Amino acid sequence: MPDIAFVKPALPRSGALVLPVAEETEAAPGSLRAALEEASGGALSRALVAAKFTGRKGQSLTLWAPAGPQGPSKVVVLGLGKAADLTESGAENAGGAICPMVSAEREAVVAAEAMTPGQAAALGLGLTLRSYRFDRYRTTEKEEDKPKLERVAIAVADPAAAKAAWVPRAALAEGVFLSRDLVSEPPNVLYPEEMAERCKALEKYGVEVEILGLKEMKKLGFGALLGVAQGSAREPRMVLMHWRGASGPKGKKGATKPLAFIGKGVTFDTGGISIKPAGGMEDMKFDMAGAGAVIGLMAALAGRKAKVDVIGAVGLVENMPSGTAQRPGDVVKTYSGLTVEVINTDAEGRLVLADVIGYVQEKYDPRFMVDLATLTGAIIIALGHEHAGMFANDDQLAEQIAAAGKATGEACWRMPLGDAYDKQIKSDIADMKNVGGRPGGSITAAHFIQRFVKDRPWVHLDIAGTAWATKDHPIVPKGATGFGVRLLDRLVADNYEG
Structure confidence by residue, pLDDT tens digits, 62-90: 999 998 888 899 999 999 999 889 999 99
Q: Per-residue pLDDT tens for 122-133? A: 999 999 999 999
- Domain span at 409: 171-495
| 166 part of a folded domain | no
* Residue 490, φ and ψ in degrees, nearest 5: -70, -40
The verdict on 151 and 235 lying in the same domain is no
The verdict on 39 and 89 lying in the same domain is yes
CB proximity list for 148: less than 8 A, separation 6 or greater:
103, 104, 105, 106
Q: Tell me which H or E stretch contains 32.
A: helix 31-40
Predicted pLDDT of residue 24: 72
The verdict on 122 and 225 lying in the same domain is no
The verdict on 51 and 199 lying in the same domain is no
Characterize the bridge pairing of strands 237-244 and 309-319: antiparallel
> In this structure, what DSSP letter does residue 262 have?
E
CB proximity list for 409: less than 8 A, separation 6 or greater:
89, 92, 93, 475, 486
Distance, CA of 209 to CA of 203 (rounded, Å): 7
Instruction: Give the percent of the chain with pLDDT over 90.
Output: 92
The verdict on 230 and 92 lying in the same domain is no
Predicted pLDDT of residue 88: 93
The verdict on 190 and 328 lying in the same domain is yes
- Bridge partners, residue 312, by sequence: 241, 261
pLDDT tier for residue 335 given thresholds of 50, 70 and 90:
very high
Q: Per-residue pLDDT tens for 141-189? A: 888 888 899 999 999 999 999 999 999 999 999 999 999 999 999 999 9
Considering the candidates 163, 169, 350, 451, report the single residue annotated as catalytic.
Answer: 350
CB proximity list for 388: less than 8 A, separation 6 or greater:
379, 405, 410, 411, 412, 413, 461, 462, 463, 465, 466, 483, 484
pLDDT tier for residue 31 given thresholds of 50, 70 and 90:
confident
| 165 part of a folded domain | no
For 63, half-sphere exposure in the C-beta direction (CA atoms, 13 angstrom radius) is 25
- Does the annotation mark 350 as catalytic? yes
Instruction: Give me the mean pLDDT over the 311-329 stretch.
Output: 98
pLDDT higher than threshold 90 for residue 28: no
The verdict on 310 and 394 lying in the same domain is yes
| 164 part of a folded domain | no
The verdict on 439 and 353 lying in the same domain is yes
The verdict on 145 and 247 lying in the same domain is no
Instruction: Give me the mean pLDDT over the 209-230 stretch.
Output: 98
Q: Per-residue pLDDT tens for 350-367? A: 999 999 999 999 999 999
3-state DSSP call for residue 371?
Answer: strand
Instruction: Give me the mean pLDDT over the 183-204 stretch.
Output: 98
Radius of gyration of the chain (CA): 25
Considering the candidates 276, 333, 367, 414, report the single residue annotated as catalytic.
Answer: 276
The verdict on 178 and 138 lying in the same domain is no
Q: Per-residue pLDDT tens for 240-283? A: 999 999 988 776 666 679 999 999 999 999 999 999 999 999 99
pTM here is 0.96
- Does the annotation mark 276 as catalytic? yes
The verdict on 59 and 199 lying in the same domain is no
Q: What average pLDDT does the structure give for the chain?
A: 95
Walk across the sheet containing 259-269 and list its strands: 208-212, 237-244, 309-319, 259-269, 368-373, 458-462, 388-392, 412-414
Between the alpha carbon of residue 244 and those of residues 212, 251, 309, the distances in Å are 20, 7, 4
Predicted pLDDT of residue 1: 85
CATH number at 227 reads: 3.40.630.10
Q: Domain count of the chain? A: 2
Residue 106 near residue 151, CB atoms below 8 Å: yes
Distance, CA of 208 to CA of 206 (rounded, Å): 6
Of the residues 105, 129, 159, which one is the last residue of a structural domain?
Answer: 159
The verdict on 119 and 206 lying in the same domain is no
pLDDT higher than threshold 90 for residue 313: yes
- Bridge partners, residue 262, by sequence: 313, 371
